[in-house]
Amino acid sequence: MYLKEGCSLLLKIHKPSRPFLLSTNPIPSLNPKPQIEPCQPILKESDVLQRLNREPQLGLALEYFRSISNSRAFKHTQLTYQAMIEKLGSQCEMDGVQYLLHQMKLEGISCSEELFISVINSYRRAGLAEQALKMFYRIKEFGCKPTVKIYNHLLDALLSENRFQMINPIYGNMKKDGMEPNVFTYNILLKALCKNDRVDGAHKLLVEMSKKGCSPDTVSYTTVVSALCRLRKVDEARELASKFEPVVAVYNALVNGVCKEFKFEEALALLVEMADKRIDPNVITYSTIISSLSDISNIESALAVLAKMFVRGCRPNIHTFTSLIKGYFTEGRVSEALDLWNRMVHEGFEPNVVAYTTVIHGLCSIGNMGEAVSVSHEMERNGCPPNVTTYSTLIDGFAKAGNLVGASETWNNMMARGCRPNVIAYTCMVDVLCRNYMFKQAQCLVENMTGEGCPPNTVTFNTFIKGLCEDGEVDWAVNVLNKMRENGCLPNITAYNELLDGLFKVNRIEEAIGLVREIDEKGLKLNLVTYNTILNGFCRSGMTKEAMQVFGNMLVSGTKPDAITYNILIYSYCKQGRIKTATQLFNCIGAAKEWRPDVISYTSLIWGLCNSVGLDEAMVYLHKMISQGICPNAGTWNVLVRCFFSSLGHLGPIYILDNVLRDG
C-alpha cells in the first residue's frame, strides 16, 4: 500500500456531539388534561451516583442521567451533576460540561469549590486554559466564590500552557481579594518563573515565602535546584541545596545536572555524599547516571553503576533497562542489547512504549527492518499501541534503507490507527519520497502540513532542499528556500550548505559565490561543512587560488580542518600535478598527528604519484598504507592496476601482487 499521491492522509478527529435535553422545568399546558402516570420508584442519590460512577461508557452514562431526570423519578443534586460533569470532563467533552453548568444555574443548584476545580481541570486537560480563565471570571454566576484552592488550580492550568503573561495578573487579583497564597501557590509561581528561565526571580520568591511565614517545602527547593542545573549553574544549585535539609529529590536534580555536563565523577561523589547523610539513592538517582553513561557509549561504567544499585538493594525499573539497551545499541553490541531485552521481559518487566521504541530504533539503525517491524507488531499484540515516535522511527529506518513500500505502509498504518503525525514523522516521509525522486509528492506533503496544524520546520525544509540538490534540481531548491522564508522559517547554515553543494555540483560557480556572500550578509557563521563544500567546489573547478584563500579564512576563523578537508586538498594538488605539495601536506600534517590519513587520502596520493612520478614512489605509499593497518579498497587497486598496465603491460598485476605478498 503506497502513500496516496497528493494527500497527507491525516485522520481528522471529530468527536461526535452528545446532544441531550433535560426537561427539568417543563412549561405547563394552558389547558392541562388529567393524565394517569405510572408509579415511578423514587431513586436515592447514592444509587444514582453509584450507577454513574460505575458506567464505563460515556454515552450510556449520559442516557441514564437524562432519562431519570425526564422520568421525574429523581431530581438531580449537586453531587450527581458533579459526577456527570467530571465524567464529561475526563473525555474533554466541554460542550456537555457547559450545558450541565447552565442547567445547574437554571435549577438554582450552586457549584461547589470541588466541582469548579473539576471544571478548571477539565479545561486544562483539553488544552483550553484560556477558556478556564473565562469560566473563572463567571464564577459568581454559578453560586461559587473564589478560594485559594481554586486560584491554585487556575494558575496551574495557565502554567501548563506556558501562559506566563496571564499568571502574574491572576496572582495580583488573588492578593487583592485578600487571600494569602499558600505553599502550593508559591510552588506554581516558582515553576512558572523557572520555566521562563527567571531563576533570579525564583530566588527572590523563596525569600518572600519565608518572610510571610510560608516555609518552602521539598517541591519548592527541587524546582529551583532543577532549573539552575538545567541552566548549567550546578555550583549555584549545590550552594542553594546546602541551605536546607537535603532530600533525595534535590539530590536527583543535582545528579541530573552534573551528568548533563558529563561530570560523572561528581555524580558518583554525590552518591557517596548521600550515603554519608543516610539518604538512600532511589531508582531515579541510579537510572539518571546509567542513562547518561549509556548516551555517551560508556556501557561498562553504566553496568558498574547497575551493580552498585543491586548491592544497595535498589531494584531497577523499565527506564534503567531501556537506557542500558540503548547503550548497547549505540556501541554496536546488538546481540547483548537483544539478550538484555529478552531477560528483562522474562523477569517480568513489562515494556512500555519508550522501551519498545528504543529496541525498534536500535534495529533500524543497523538496517534490520524486518525485525524492527516484528517488534512493532509484538508491542501491539501486548496491548502497547505504537505512538508517533515509534512510527517515525520505522519510517526513518525504511527511508535510510531506500524502502519506499515499507515507509508508505508504515505511514498508512499510522493514519489508519488514528495516530496524528508530528513534524518528525512528516520530515521522515519527505526524506523517503526525495530518496525515491518523488519530489512532487514530497512538495504536496510539505504544503499540506500547515493546513493540518503541523507546519514544516527548518529540518523539514532542509531535508527537501537536500533531496532536490542531490538530483540536480537546484532551481526548485532555491524556490523551496524562498518558500521557507515566506513561512517564517529562517534558513540556517545547513540549508545554505545543501544549496551550495547543489550549485557546485551543476557547475554554477557564480551563483554559489553569490550565495556565500548572502550567508555573510545575513551574519551566519560558516561551519566546517560550509568550508569543505566551498573548498571541494573550487578545487573541482580548478580554482586553486580561491580554494587556498578559503582554507586560510577557515584557519583564521578557528574552524579546525578534518579528514575531508585534507583529502580535498590532497586530491586537488594531485589533479593539478602538484605532487610535491600534496606529498608535503600529507607527510607534515600526518607527522604532526593533527590528522590520520585514511584510505581516501592514500588512494588520492597514490593516484597522483602514478600519474606524475612513477610506480616505485606509489608502491612506497602502498606499503606504508598497509603497514598502518589501512586496507586498500577497490579504488586503490584500480588506480595501481591501470597505472601498471600502462607502464609494464601484462606483467603489471603480477608485479603488484608479488611486491605486496613479499612485504607481508
Using one digit for the tens of pLDDT, what is the confidence trace for 427-481?
999 999 999 999 999 999 999 998 888 999 999 999 999 999 999 999 999 999 9
* C-alpha 475 chain-centroid distance: 32
List C-alpha distances in Å: 351 to 343, 356, 393, 417: 12, 6, 17, 21
Averaged confidence pLDDT in the chain: 85
Distance CA 547, CA 552 (A): 9
**Which residue would you say has higher pLDDT here, 410 or 651?**
410
Residue 34: the pLDDT is: 39
Dihedral over Cα of 63, 64, 65, 67: its sign:
positive
- Phi-psi sector, 334: left (phi>0), alpha (psi -120 to 50), beta: alpha
Residue 559 burial (CB count, 10 A): 17
Residues in CB range of 532: below 8 A, 6 or more apart:
562, 564, 565, 568
Residue 664: the pLDDT is: 45
Range list of H helices, 107-163: 113-125, 129-137, 148-160
Residue 153: the pLDDT is: 93
The C-alpha cell at 512 is 554559489
* Whether the predicted pLDDT of 2 surpasses 70: no
**Which residue would you say has higher pLDDT here, 244 or 316?**
316
Q: Which of 48-57, 272-281, 287-296 shows the lowest mean pLDDT across its residues?
A: 48-57
The 10s digit of each residue's pLDDT in 582-638 is: 888 888 877 767 778 889 988 988 888 888 888 788 888 888 888 888 888 888 888
List C-alpha distances in Å: 546 to 90, 403, 519: 66, 41, 17
Residue 354: the pLDDT is: 95
**Which residue would you say has higher pLDDT here, 20 or 351?**
351
The pLDDT-based confidence of 259 (bands split at 50, 70, 90) is very high
Residue 41: the pLDDT is: 59
Distance CA 597, CA 586 (A): 8
Residue 281: the pLDDT is: 93
Distance CA 445, CA 467 (A): 14
Distance CA 606, CA 628 (A): 15
Dihedral over Cα of 350, 356, 358, 364: its sign:
positive
List C-alpha distances in Å: 19 to 63, 115, 125, 402: 10, 22, 22, 50
Distance CA 415, CA 71 (A): 43
Distance CA 583, CA 586 (A): 5
The pLDDT-based confidence of 659 (bands split at 50, 70, 90) is low
Which residue matches cell numbers 598497509? 626
Say if residues 103 and 65 touch (Cβ distance below 8 Å).
Answer: no
The 10s digit of each residue's pLDDT in 39-90 is: 455 778 888 888 888 888 888 888 888 888 787 778 888 898 888 888 888 8
* Whether the predicted pLDDT of 325 surpasses 70: yes
**Mean local confidence (pLDDT), 195-204:** 87
* Whether the predicted pLDDT of 321 surpasses 90: yes
What is the DSSP code (8-state) at residue 19?
-
**Mean local confidence (pLDDT), 143-147:** 90
Q: pTM of the prediction?
A: 0.72
**Mean local confidence (pLDDT), 123-144:** 89
**Mean local confidence (pLDDT), 127-146:** 89
* Whether the predicted pLDDT of 14 surpasses 70: no
Q: Got the DSSP string for 185-212?
A: HHHHHHHHHHHTT-HHHHHHHHHHHHHT
Q: Which of 629, 627, 623 is nearest to 660 (CA)?
A: 623
Q: Which of 10-24, 325-339, 415-429, 607-621 shows the lowest mean pLDDT across its residues?
A: 10-24
* Whether the predicted pLDDT of 27 surpasses 80: no
Residue 416: the pLDDT is: 92
The C-alpha cell at 563 is 579528514
Residue 306: the pLDDT is: 93
The pLDDT-based confidence of 168 (bands split at 50, 70, 90) is confident
* Whether the predicted pLDDT of 378 surpasses 90: yes
* C-alpha angle 657-658-660 in degrees, rounded to nearest 5: 65
The pLDDT-based confidence of 376 (bands split at 50, 70, 90) is very high
Terminal C-alpha separation, the chain: 55
The pLDDT-based confidence of 126 (bands split at 50, 70, 90) is confident
* C-alpha 596 chain-centroid distance: 35
* Whether the predicted pLDDT of 553 surpasses 70: yes
**Which residue would you say has higher pLDDT here, 461 or 216?**
461
